[in-house]
Every structure is written in structure tokens, then in C-alpha cells.
Chains A and B, each alone.
Chain A
Amino acid sequence: MARKLVVCGVGALGSTAVQYLRNVDAELRLVDFDRVEAKNLGAQWFVKQSVGKNKAEAVRLQLANFYGAKAEAMGVRLGAHNAEQLLADAALAIDCFDNADSRLVLQTAARAAQLPLVHAAFAADGTFGMVRWDERFTPDREDVAGQATCEGGEHLPMIGLIGATLARTIQDFLARGERRDYLISLSGVVRSH
């Protein structure tokens, strides 16, 4: 039976990482309640035909249509009431949420289930990001509520770099059980643990 990876949040980082996970020896479960808006096309892995669709379903369709890759889409918001169900049978949870509250819910559920969890996150100005395993991760809150972020697309190359680093980190975990952390800046990608 193939291992199951649960990708929580398939916006900028999540949808980008999924592209690079399409051929891993694992099943993908995608969790996101949000819908694709036209403004997302500049920074997230969606196409014009995806606008209006649920993001998890849109990524599932793109994987199927472009690559013949299968995934499971769960178009719901992960919360304390359904986290156990959404993470059921998982070998790894992947946090690409866009806010600290959702990250904390996922962290609590994964720790309760003793489920490995890796986080990916980036700064509002798009110059810095990191991939970090849960045992060393504390969610950051925005400096101010509603802080602007990646929607304009100017940070797309950095999003690609962080997403690719996350996918490689997951590959290493699946292959050898390694849990490596990385800092990603305009200077490059540096292993931090």
C-alpha cells in the first residue's frame, strides 16, 4: 500500500510543491477550502480554466490532465473537528497554510497522532522562506493583520525555489527518513538542520 502525503494548503507554496511531488512513490491528499481567483494565477500553480474551482480540486484536475497523476482532493477547511479524519492513514503531513492559527491546528493534530509534519513558509516581502520540521517549528504571526503577500506574482521565482526545496525535503524523508531544515533567501538555499 502506497504511503499517503497530506498537503495542507494548496495556494502558492502548496500548489508549487505538488508539481514536484507528482512522481513520488506516494499518494497525495490535497486539503484546501478556498477557491481559485483570477489574481491567484500570477503566483500559484493554477490555469485560467481553474478560476472559480476549489483549489484542491483544481490541483487534482491539473495533475490528472497534464500528467496523468492521481490525487485526492478534500475541499474543506482543516479544523480541530475534522483534522483526525483528514490526516487518517497519512505517512506525512505537509503544512503550506497561510496563517498561524491553521498551522497550530495542524501542528496539534499531527503531534497528537505522532505524525511527521514538515512546514513551509515565506516572508511577506518575498525575500525569504524556510522549510522546517515540526520539532523545531513555531508558527509566526503577521506583523499586521491582512498583511499583503504574494498575490501580485512578483515573488513567483522565490515561491518556486521554496516549493522545490520543500519537495526535495519530502523526497529525502521518503527515501531515507531524513528530516532536514532549509533557509531559502536570495543568497541561496542553506541547510539549517
Chain B
Amino acid sequence: MAILNITYQGQSADYELAIDFAATDGDIHRIATEVVRTGSVRGLHVPDLPQHAFTNYVVDRLEGPDGEQRIYLRPKVPFGA
């Protein structure tokens, strides 16, 4: 099981309920859309979130700083220079 962190429009927050670390990217997109719309993510409530808000987002599955499994749903970051 893993913690899901969602970043949207500059706000970033954890979803409190653990989800399957092996969930597909599509599953993560659907779960994130639902929990952000319903206000289940503290500090990240967007009732009118568009259906495809996370379509171009990236799903990272990483080990967190304390060894826990974490899933990050985030915008692409193509830029630097």
C-alpha cells in the first residue's frame, strides 16, 4: 500500500488513505480526480475539477524519505534553462 501525493495548480497534498502501489496510471488519474473533487485531500479541494485535469500528468512510484511507498501525481517538468 502507498501514500498518494497530488500536485495541482501549485498546491500539493497527501491523500490520507493508502492505495495499491501497483495501481495503473489510469487508476491513479481516476482516483485523484475523484478525491480532489470530493474534498478528500486536505488542502486540495476543487469541486469543478475538469474530467481530464490529470491526463498529461506523470505518475512516479518512489520510496519516500522514511522508506514508505509513495505515489506522486504531478505535472510534467520539461523546463530548466
Contact = CB atoms under 8 A, between A and B. Distances in A.
A10 B10 CA distance: 24
B76 A149 contact: no
Nearest to B55: A143
Given A187-B43, A192-B70, A140 B77 contact: yes
Interface stretch (A63-71, A83-91, A115-123): A115-123
A161 to B, nearest CB: 11
Q: What class of interface size applies to chain B in its complex with A?
A: 20 to 34
B40 to A, nearest CB: 17
Interface string B30-67: 00000000000001000000000000101010111100
A192 B64 contact: yes
A125 B75 contact: yes
Contacts of A13: 80-81
Interface of A: 9-14, 32, 34, 95-100, 119-125, 127-130, 136, 139-143, 147, 149-150, 180-181, 183, 185-188, 190-193
